[in-house]
Amino acid sequence: MANLADFKYTMESCNHCGQCKWILPARMKGWDFASVCPLHEFHGFDAYSGQGLIQIAKERLDGKLEYGDGLETLLYACPACGACDINCKSVRDMEVLDTIYALREDCVEAGYLPEPLRRTAANVEETHNIYGKPHSERFAWLPPDFRDDPEADTALFVGCSAYRYPDIALAAIRILRAGGVKFKLLREDEWCCGAPLWRTGQREAAEKLIRRNVDTFRRHGIQTVITACAECFGSFRGGYPRYADTEGLEFKHITQVAAELLSGGKLRLRKGDEPLRVTYHDPCMLGRLSEKYVPWDGEIRPYGLHVPEKVWRRGEHGVYEEPREILRALEGVELCEMTRNLEEALCCGAAARDVDPEFAAWTAAERRREAKAAGAQAIVSCCPFCRDALGSDGENALPYLDLTVLLAERLKEEA
């Protein structure tokens, strides 16, 4: 059963305290916006929570539960946003999210991967992108006169989202050029980062793709990989070390690079047209799930003592400050914070759209409601999938701005 047995300690140690469902009490500002698990808040049953999925995993491990009758839909409606995991770790160190990942591997091995996710996996296998678009068109948006730096040891990884949002990739290029950063594109050698595979439990396909991508980086002499996609960044940092040796490779998000350039005085900005009050939405894969994954193999002794010592990912060291530094640097932009932010930010719900679109739409609307309650005129983020969710029309519609594009538009043109 995949590696479910590796997380038996987590399954047996859960005492049903409920901390996986709620923001930390010390940070609560009231009953509204107190939940960190959108799945549980929407459905209202314990099964739809980190706690419930841990119990389901134990039932599977004990041979008491079979897939079918909607169990796999419940499992993949969970956006695997990691909020349950981070909040559980504020009480005790257990691997809630990794248990969910292991349960998904078990589900795939049993042959119950939902059809929409099968189609996405087929697209990645056949066309190297999640949308099934021709691989030859991955960089079709590049200006004909574009020239990169073929000798550079830094690559800009545009990701599959460049098919839908080429403005983000073009904005990243503009920022790097303005800051004097030498970089190159991988062109036909850039394939999907693999997040849709490893995060859905498709271990064999994920390992094959990830190892291929790491080999590609090394073959091109790449030491630093920059991406403007939160999903790619979180995958490189939190997913790749699970499957391949990434020693010597550094992964950065464009907001980290831009913040460094701004603090070094290498980016010159112009004023905005009108004052704007915004709130910043922390993407799951840029925030709590972007901490580097450090593999561990050892013994769990009484009271949870891990020997050798384990490096825990508690979500505290995600990319939180750099996007906010950029917003503060934009004259005329006022930043206001939502109640649920940083490692306790509410997921946008995008990861659940193919399996449970009603729940996903509700989650996005809930996040927009929170942004409005904070007094924001617009919501800013830097994840193309959050853009898909939060930028769509619907209940509590609110303008969505991509941070990379917003910064690029504020760059002063060279005389």
**pLDDT tens figures, 7-23:** 999 999 999 999 999 99
pLDDT of residue 252: 98
First and final CA of the chain: distance in angstroms?
63
pLDDT of residue 414: 57
335 lies in some domain: no
Domain match, 78 and 46 both:
yes
- Where residue 391 falls among pLDDT bands split at 50, 70, 90? confident
pLDDT of residue 415: 38
300 CA to centre of own chain: 29
Domain match, 192 and 259 both:
yes
Domain match, 258 and 140 both:
yes
- The CATH number of whichever domain residue 43 belongs to comes to 1.10.1060
Neighbours of 125 (CB within 10 A): 13
Place of tokens 């006169």: 145
DSSP-assigned states of every residue in 289-334: T-SPP-----EEEGGGEEESPP----STTSS-HHHHHHHHHSTTEE
Rounded CA separation 239/182 (Å) = 27
Q: Give me the half-sphere count of Cα atoms (radius 13 Å) on the Cβ side of residue 119.
A: 8
Chosen domain end from 51, 79, 112: 112
- The CATH number of whichever domain residue 193 belongs to comes to 3.40.50
pLDDT averaged over every residue in the chain = 95
* Domain range enclosing 24: 1-112
Q: Give, in order, the Cα–Cα distances in Å from 37 to each of 79, 80, 380, 404.
A: 10, 10, 21, 28
pLDDT of residue 412: 85
Is the pLDDT at 170 greater than 80, yes or no? yes
Domain match, 210 and 93 both:
no
338 lies in some domain: no
Place of tokens 């419940």: 74
Chosen domain end from 82, 112, 142: 112
Crossing angle (nearest 10°) for helices 166-178 and 254-263: 30
Rounded CA separation 384/390 (Å) = 10
119 lies in some domain: no
pLDDT of residue 394: 59
Is the pLDDT at 396 greater than 80, yes or no? no
DSSP code for 345: P
Average pLDDT over residues 46-63: 96
169 lies in some domain: yes
Q: What is the dihedral of CA 333, 364, 159, 382, to 10 degrees?
A: 10
- Look at the chain and report how many structural domains it folds into: 2
Domain match, 56 and 91 both:
yes
Average pLDDT over residues 256-276: 93
Domain match, 142 and 73 both:
no
362 lies in some domain: no
Domain match, 217 and 139 both:
yes
Chosen domain end from 59, 79, 112: 112
Domain match, 40 and 153 both:
no
50 lies in some domain: yes
Domain match, 107 and 181 both:
no
Helix intervals (H) in 158-201: 166-178, 195-198
pLDDT of residue 272: 79
Domain match, 231 and 201 both:
yes
Q: What is the pLDDT of residues 330-368, one digit of tens each?
A: 999 999 999 999 999 999 999 999 999 999 999 999 999
Output the pTM of the full model.
Answer: 0.95
Q: Which residues contact 201 (CB under 8 A, 6 or more apart)?
A: 2, 101, 102, 103, 104, 105, 106, 107, 108, 113
pLDDT of residue 91: 87
369 lies in some domain: no
pLDDT of residue 244: 96
Q: Which residues contact 223 (CB under 8 A, 6 or more apart)?
A: 153, 154, 248, 249, 250
Phi and psi based region of residue 231 (left: phi greater than 0; alpha: psi -120 to 50; beta: remaining): alpha
165 lies in some domain: yes
Domain match, 247 and 154 both:
yes
Q: CB burial class (10 A; 0-12, 13-18, 19+) of residue 404?
A: buried
Q: CB burial class (10 A; 0-12, 13-18, 19+) of residue 392?
A: middle
Domain match, 229 and 139 both:
yes
